[in-house]
A and B are shown apart, each in its own frame.
Chain A
Amino acid sequence: MSNLVNVYFFGKKYQVPESLTIMEAMEYAGYQLVRGCGCRNGFCGACATIYRIAGDRTLRACLACSTKVEDNMYVATLPFFPLVKAVYDIEKVKPTEQIMMQLYPEIYSCIGCNACTNACTQGLNVMQYIAYAQRGEYEKCAEESFDCVMCGVCSTRCPAEISHPQVAMLARRLNGKYLAPHCDHLDERIEEINSGKYELLLEDLMGKPISEMQELYNNRDIEK
């Protein structure tokens, strides 16, 4: 058994093994989680958590599923934060600066305090991606924000009341749909399929006895 540390969940003290993540520690303490727990591995953003270590004035944020407990950690989970999600029609919007002004005008009130970046559980440069969004540089915003798990912690800290992950979501969709280079070979293949080019070939495969399919499969050439 590894050493025990003191952790305070919502102010109440529990002793838990130091090797656990915050999420596992809550379960060790006896919590049966419903909220604040999704992928359990840093992808879904369900487990946003804020904490302070006694004696340290810094307020920190993390994902409970991928952060180890520390001694004298005061923890509050943040399983939901009311973000603003603007509704739009992806077919009708255009990747211009106007669209951000229209849907998320508050981004232009950013005061450059960098609190969002300091709080980001993924270590992203959040202030920078908001700056890109302001300038309509959606490709850069998309790249900079790509690893965002939409946990919402940055937005809890923002004096300008920006819903950063939603801004980034819009930028990525605009980039993916309108700005990224178009893929021609995809269109060509779909065209071929629709014209029935592969039907016979496939039907032939489907009609073959298993032994023949095994033969084909085991001797197929593999691209280097």
Chain B
Amino acid sequence: MYTDPIMQESIKLVEAAREANIRLDPRRMTAEEKDVLLKTYHPDYRVEQFEELKIGPNKGGKVPIELAKLLQGNPRITAAQVDLSKPDYDVDVLVIGGGGAGSSAAIEAHENGANVMIVTKLRIGDANTMMAEGGIQAADKPNDSPAQHYLDAFGGGHFAAQKDLLYKLVTDAPDAIRWLSELGVEFDKAPDGTMITTHGGGTSRKRMHAAKDYSGAEIMRTLRDEVLNRNIPVVDFTSVIELIKDDKGCCAGAVLMNMETKELLVAKAKTVVLATGGAGRLHYQGFPTSNHYGATADGLVLAYRAGARLLYPETLQYHPTGAAFPAQIYGALVTEKVRSLGAMLINAKGEAFMNPLETRDVSAASIIRECSDRGNGIPTPEGFGVWLDTPMIELKHGEGTIEARIPAMMRMFGKHGIDIRKEPILIYPTLHYQNGGVKITDNGQTDIENLFAAGEVVGGIHGRNRLMGNSLLDIIVFGRNAGQQASQKAKEVSVGTLTLSHLDAFKQELKDGGIDTDVASPKLLPDYARRNNTI
């Protein structure tokens, strides 16, 4: 139920045009049109929002201002504060982050006989993986092929993907789906076992596999259950605040901090897998976010400080359809599947202003243009939004489709009195995904010996923009890979003397770079508490 008179007026226009709009297939933009649109309206192109790094492996490169502050921030500890001689944990493989990538890595490392442990900031599964709605790509249908998948992802990522990583992503995809299936993940299937697949923005074949619109939750809870079944130790409510090296310069563990008691602990490991996920809670450029509470780019900070290069850290993904109304769910994700199923983007006048299945960056820029220069947005308490005409879905596919295919969306809006089967919803771009991150080779290792990385913390697999469904895929493919490689490598590693001397070196670099900051990093959690006259 919309009570705002301007919204009500606009809905009438949307309803009146629905029959005609539904028959339209708005033409896709040309490459040139997209180029101009992105440069004019996409947040990644607002130069004043980026800052040049003064120190570290990416010195001279640009990153969002908020990230620069953390990458060039002060460590939370000094080397002298930690006694490295008596580790609290001593394992073969230390996995940092209990999301999809970390859990997959841990399962494979365990399968390979390693003594593996997970340390994670909140609970295992409090992670972006749990929130993924839409689905996971894999080219497993007869009219599709890994080469077609490669082309879609490479083009969608603006021809910037690291080719060997993308090769691995697309060729290992079907096996990733089978692995999940055999762990018990319930993919949507036809009665004969054929996977029900749909399009996502930028796909040329219908290769999006889903578990209703709880795809990530279904994958995450299954992986978590498997981790627990294997009795893999999970140290929860504990963050890594620094990586530890040995005297040979190899990664050899981490300094942990209990999030509640602030107690410091030392974990020694032969190899380490960094799987800390994304950065939405840094709220770049003041955008709302779809990410979980702990998405604060910690992994980038930890790796950067230890000397690892980042790739494309200046590219972020703004999901075109974040909820713009009501305020309680501002920024929450409205899955792309809503568009895959046929809902179109409609402006305040009731016009279908673009093809709903353009890539995410193009769609986001187009919506921002509609709400700014073109003046066709609908005012909301937080700014503007455009309509996503959800009732179209049931007109196209019949009654009951929404409840069967996107129940989470129906519930999310239903809680606020909006029935998406009958009423359209208001959306605006939301900060969604970190396209860039730590650079790895195809065996999953970063620039630092024995430090592996997987998941959203990695950069390069998708180039400068990721397609829907390729992230859930990458966390499984590269999470498994990192677990296998890290556990294999652990068999031949003998750890030298532990040291945090890189922290001293980093502090010297800060000083030499003329950086005097009071920012402590990694950030660990956003600060949303209102401080009213506190001490």
Contacts and interface: CB of A to CB of B under 8 A. Distances in A.
A66 interface: yes
A190 B412 CA distance: 37
Contacts of B187: 176, 180, 183
B403 to A, nearest CB: 11
Contacts of A175: 184, 186
Nearest to A187: B178
Contacts of B229: 87-90
Contacts of A177: 181-184
B191 interface: yes
A89 B183 CA distance: 10
B154 A213 contact: yes
Contacts of B184: 90, 172-177
B356 to A, nearest CB: 13
Interface string A192-224: 010000100110011000100110111011110
Interface string B139-165: 111110111101110110001000100
Nearest to A194: B175
Given A30-B532, A41-B412, A202 B150 contact: yes
A146 B178 CA distance: 20
What size tier do the contact residues of chain A reach?
Answer: 35 or more
B142 A149 contact: no
A202 B204 contact: no
Interface in B499-535: 525, 527-532, 534
A43 B125 CA distance: 10
A186 B178 contact: yes
Nearest to A79: B123
A24 B529 CA distance: 9
Given A34-B260, A177-B183, A190-B178, A39 B292 contact: yes
A141 to B, nearest CB: 12
Interface string A11-41: 0000000011100100111111111011111
Interface residues of B, number: 86
Contact of A205 (B151, B231, B292): B151
Contacts of B183: 90, 173, 176-177
Contact of A217 (B154, B216, B217, B333): B154
Main secondary structure of the interface of A (DSSP, over half): loop
Q: Which of B125, B131, B328 has the most CB of A within 10 A?
A: B328
Interface stretch (B219-227, B390-398, B450-458): B219-227
Contacts of A198: 145-147, 171
Contact of A87 (B222, B231, B534): B231
B270 interface: no
B411 interface: yes
Interface in B187-203: 187, 189-195, 199
23 contacts: A27-B530, A30-B531, A38-B123, A41-B131, A41-B290, A41-B332, A85-B225, A85-B228, A89-B229, A90-B183, A147-B411, A173-B183, A175-B184, A175-B186, A176-B181, A189-B140, A193-B171, A198-B146, A205-B151, A205-B154, A213-B154, A217-B152, A217-B159
Interface of A: 19-21, 24, 27-35, 37-44, 46, 66-68, 85, 87-90, 122-123, 142, 146-147, 149-150, 169, 172-177, 180-187, 189-190, 193, 198, 201-202, 205-206, 210, 213-214, 216-218, 220-223
Given A39-B292, A146-B218, A205-B150, 15 more contacts: A38-B292, A40-B292, A41-B290, A44-B127, A89-B229, A172-B218, A172-B222, A173-B222, A181-B190, A183-B181, A190-B140, A202-B167, A206-B163, A213-B155, A214-B159
